[in-house]
Structure 1
Amino acid sequence: MGNIQLIFKKEDIKPEQMKGKVAVVFDVLFATSTITAALADGARSVIPVYDQAQAREKAKSISEPYVLAGEEQGRTIEGFHHPLRSFLNPIVKGSHLILSTTNGTVAINRSSQADHLYTSSLLNNREMANYLIEQHLEETIVLVCSGTSGHFTMEDFYGAGSLLSYLVEKGSFQLSDSAQTALLFYNGLSISPFQLLRATKIGQILMELGMDENEIKSVAQEGILHTIGKFDPSTRQIKEVER
């Protein structure tokens, strides 16, 4: 029987303690949703970076086609594409997506010492659960909620609870208290994923900044994608798992 732990925010990640574990990172609004969608839309890889300076440096070293996208505190970085599927879908196919976000890409990099590192979202949680059961059933799985600016975020906790619901449906796991709480939270809600995401602090802030609520609706669609994104520590790229 494997066991599942949960980390509430990226600041709680102890990089060296990720060794020997399987990590799954969530930033539902929007980094890991964007990563999943970009791979599904034909991106060659997604390269998650800490900040815009590292993104620009990375771009200089790539000879193949790339797209530079990112946000800082919810605002698109100047000279970068907006990091949402509706903006990236027409341009990512066949290119590497260099992605810089306030929380999600930082959480991915801080988790990169894990033996296996994946990114997940509501879009692909069902498929992620199937894959984890196939590949890592007896291992320790750590669900990493990115949070924001040192704080817990409800949408990432909900995303982790969603994945847990699919995992416990098909496999037997020992859950930590934090993981068990995420599962109970997810199962106990009577509102739709869209209603939940729209009600979160980040959802409210993004809409106040002018975001169309259809962007939130798009990432609230559970189980519509079958893409599994896995981080390769040798290249620092996330690529779709071939099965």
Structure 2
Amino acid sequence: MTKIHLLMKKEEMNQQKLSGNKTVVVFDILLATSTITATLEFGAKEVIPVLNGKEAVEISEGIKNNEAILIGEYNGATLDGFHSPNPLALRSVVNKKTIILSTTNGTIALKNAQAAKKVYAASILNSKSVVNHIRQTYDDETIILVCAGSFGHFNIEDFYGAGYFIDCLLSESIQLEMTDSSLAALHFYRSFKEKEIEILAESRVGKMMVNYGFEAELHFVSQKSIFNVVPMMENGKRIVDVKLSEKTAF
């Protein structure tokens, strides 16, 4: 039976408890993990999550031939000299590029999860694919779902995304031993299963996106499992589509 636990915000992560036979799945639905999913689907070579804009610029200076693209925001505002992380604006610019991504919460959550055996970035866009990969490669790990949250606060859209992910696990006939937090996320998702757009739009970040005129992006990231990419951390530094990596290894 697979043990599954859910953390309501990234600040609840404990490095010692993450080490060992743990798989971490990070959710930042608005927007980091949705952006990672989309850019890999759009042909990006890899995504390097960073803690801040300064680190992003330093890493980009070591990448030759303009192969790196800086994408970032802080508290919803696009960083100077960076592309916005809104996925629809990135479709035409990320193919075969290295993405260096800095966000307020999601990339920090991913960086802080490095002690785990495996780290995935999941979103509403690709949950089924990540679930399928975990099922195929499962080795008795405890699965820890991390809702990134925002500045130490709970974000309802991440909770909804995690609940959808758990529902996908159960749809694969995976037997789960759930903590109360993961069970709560599952019941919340199932109670609002057909209201994903409303949940996202009524969230704090969703309202901000609507006010900035990004309704189309909100609708885009609410689509369930339309992409097959499986974003997985490699060597604690970069995120690649592990399915593509497996294909090119043969």
Equivalence for 1:5: 5
Number of aligned residue pairs: give it: 241
Instruction: Report the Cα distance in structure 2 between the residues aligned to 1:102 and 1:129, rounded to whole angstroms.
Output: 26
C-alpha displacement of 1:15 = 2.1
For residue 237 of structure 1, what is the amino acid of its counterpart? Answer: R
Instruction: Report the Cα distance in structure 2 between the residues aligned to 1:207 and 1:16, rounded to whole angstroms.
Output: 39
User: Could you say what the CA RMSD is over the residues aligned between the two structures, in angstroms?
Assistant: 1.2
1:28 aligns with 2:33: no
Instruction: Report the Cα distance in structure 2 between the residues aligned to 1:44 and 1:127, rounded to whole angstroms.
Output: 18
Instruction: Report the Cα distance in structure 2 between the residues aligned to 1:130 and 1:169, rounded to whole angstroms.
Output: 10
Structure 2 unpaired stretches of 5+:
none
C-alpha displacement of 1:121 = 0.2
Structure 1 unpaired stretches of 5+:
none
Partner SS, residue 114 of structure 1: coil
Is 1:2–1:137's contact at 8 Å kept on the other side of the alignment?
Answer: no
C-alpha displacement of 1:217 = 0.2
Partner SS, residue 177 of structure 2: strand
For residue 102 of structure 1, what is the amino acid of its counterpart? Answer: T
For residue 144 of structure 2, what is the amino acid of its counterpart? Answer: V
Partner SS, residue 149 of structure 2: coil
Instruction: Report the Cα distance in structure 2 between the residues aligned to 1:16 and 1:51, rounded to whole angstroms.
Output: 24
Equivalence for 1:151: 153
Instruction: Report the Cα distance in structure 2 between the residues aligned to 1:116 and 1:218, rounded to whole angstroms.
Output: 27
Is 1:31–1:101's contact at 8 Å kept on the other side of the alignment?
Answer: yes
1:199 aligns with 2:208: no
Cα displacement string for residues 14-62 of structure 1 (whole angstroms, at most 9, x for unaligned residues): 1232112000000000100000011111101000000111111111122
Cα displacement string for residues 105-152 of structure 1 (whole angstroms, at most 9, x for unaligned residues): 000001111100000000001111111111126320000100001100
1:119 aligns with 2:85: no
Instruction: Report the Cα distance in structure 2 between the residues aligned to 1:42 and 1:15, rounded to whole angstroms.
Output: 32
CA 1:37 to 1:190, structure 2 compared with 1: closer, same or farther past 3 Å? closer
Partner SS, residue 238 of structure 1: strand
Deviating above 6 A after TM superposition, structure 1's stretches of 4 or more consecutive aligned residues are none
Instruction: Report the Cα distance in structure 2 between the residues aligned to 1:169 and 1:110, rounded to whole angstroms.
Output: 29
Instruction: Report the Cα distance in structure 1 between the residues aligned to 2:17 and 2:58, rounded to whole angstroms.
Output: 29
Is 1:69–1:100's contact at 8 Å kept on the other side of the alignment?
Answer: yes
C-alpha displacement of 1:91 = 0.7
